[in-house]
């Protein structure tokens, strides 16, 4: 009974504006919001911390690819075991990035995003990975998506001699950017690795996943005023010209 009374009292204070509910912290701008983006936090079974789904990693020291991208650390993601002789896909994701406290700026059209990652594959296979950011509302309904990585990207990667294989695939980055959709509450980051009909392992490799949001400044009042004056002046000139 005491607990119910206390809750009712707190609700009354909030409703009266005498007590503000705790505000959620806004997601920081201009910083990578992906946790463990290079898959370095790995235990002995290959589990990567902060990711769920089917998560396996290789070490660059195994020499399956070209040289590691700068800043990549020791490991990278691959899909793990697939279905032998069939095209198959494996996915991994992490807890959605909370942007609920950034809502005012997002709904004002002031927040943009950058999504990027590095990709490779095993030798001449065309296995590939795609990293997708899904923008979702408060009910987790999708408002839009952005993706990097593709089969075409992997097929275009240079072939290099890494000392173990003369036909190793090099690494390359892919990136995209845009405006965060109005109404976005959270962003789901997901990797999907797909293998071709050959082989047994989903060798779509990815590393250094980076997702950032950026706050665009409000235009200076002077700039808006000058633009408005210029527009009115042009309209007046056209009006006078038509009447001449």
The alpha helices in the chain, defined as continuous H runs, are: 2-15, 103-107, 151-155, 221-243
Own/partner pairs, 57-64, CB within 8 angstroms, 24+ separation: 58/205, 63/162, 63/163, 63/164, 63/165, 63/168, 64/122, 64/123, 64/165, 64/168, 64/203, 64/205
What is the pLDDT, as a whole number, of residue 22? 45
Tell me the domain boundaries of the chain: 27-234
What is the pLDDT, as a whole number, of residue 24? 64
Which segments within 63-185 are labelled E, that is strand?
75-78, 80-81, 88-93, 97-98, 111-121, 128-136, 142-148, 159-160, 168-169, 172-179
What is the pLDDT, as a whole number, of residue 25? 86
What is the pLDDT, as a whole number, of residue 243? 53
- The label of the residue with tokens 């399956």 reads 64
What is the pLDDT, as a whole number, of residue 199? 77
Cα 134–Cα 140–Cα 143 angle in degrees, nearest 5: 50
Cα 159–Cα 132–Cα 162 angle in degrees, nearest 5: 20
Which tens digit of pLDDT belongs to each residue from 20-52?
A: 444 568 999 999 999 999 999 876 555 677 998
pTM across the whole model: 0.80
Per-residue pLDDT of the chain (244 residues; tens, 9 = 90+): 444 444 454 445 445 544 444 456 899 999 999 999 999 987 655 567 799 888 889 999 999 999 999 999 999 999 888 777 677 788 999 999 999 999 999 999 999 999 999 999 999 988 999 999 999 999 999 999 999 999 999 999 999 999 999 999 999 999 999 999 999 999 999 999 999 877 788 999 999 999 999 999 887 665 545 455 455 555 544 545 555 5
Per the CATH hierarchy, to which homologous superfamily does domain 27-234 belong? Galactose-binding domain-like (2.60.120.260)
């Amino acid at each position: 009974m005491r607990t119910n009374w206390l809750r009712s009292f707190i609700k009354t204070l909030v409703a009266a504006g005498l007590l503000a509910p705790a505000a959620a912290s806004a997601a920081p701008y201009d910083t990578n919001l992906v946790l463990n983006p290079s898959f370095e936090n790995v235990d002995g079974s290959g589990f990567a911390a902060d990711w769920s789904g089917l998560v396996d990693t290789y070490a660059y020291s195994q020499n399956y690819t070209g040289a590691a991208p700068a800043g990549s650390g020791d490991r990278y993601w691959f899909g793990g075991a697939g279905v032998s002789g069939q095209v198959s896909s494996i996915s991994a994701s992490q807890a959605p990035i909370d942007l609920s406290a950034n809502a005012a700026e997002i709904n004002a059209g002031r927040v943009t995003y950058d999504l990027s990652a590095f990709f490779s594959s095993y030798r001449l296979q065309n296995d590939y990975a795609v990293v997708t950011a899904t923008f979702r509302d408060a009910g987790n309904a999708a408002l839009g998506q952005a993706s990097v990585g593709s089969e075409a990207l992997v097929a275009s990667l240079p072939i290099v001699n890494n000392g173990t294989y003369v036909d190793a695939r090099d690494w390359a980055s892919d990136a995209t950017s845009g405006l965060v959709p109005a109404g976005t509450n959270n962003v789901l980051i997901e990797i999907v690795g797909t293998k071709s009909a050959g082989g047994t392992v989903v060798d779509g490799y990815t590393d250094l996943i980076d997702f950032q949001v950026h706050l665009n400044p409000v235009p200076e009042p002077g700039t808006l005023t000058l633009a408005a004056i210029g527009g009115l002046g042009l309209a007046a000139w056209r009006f006078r010209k038509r009447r001449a």
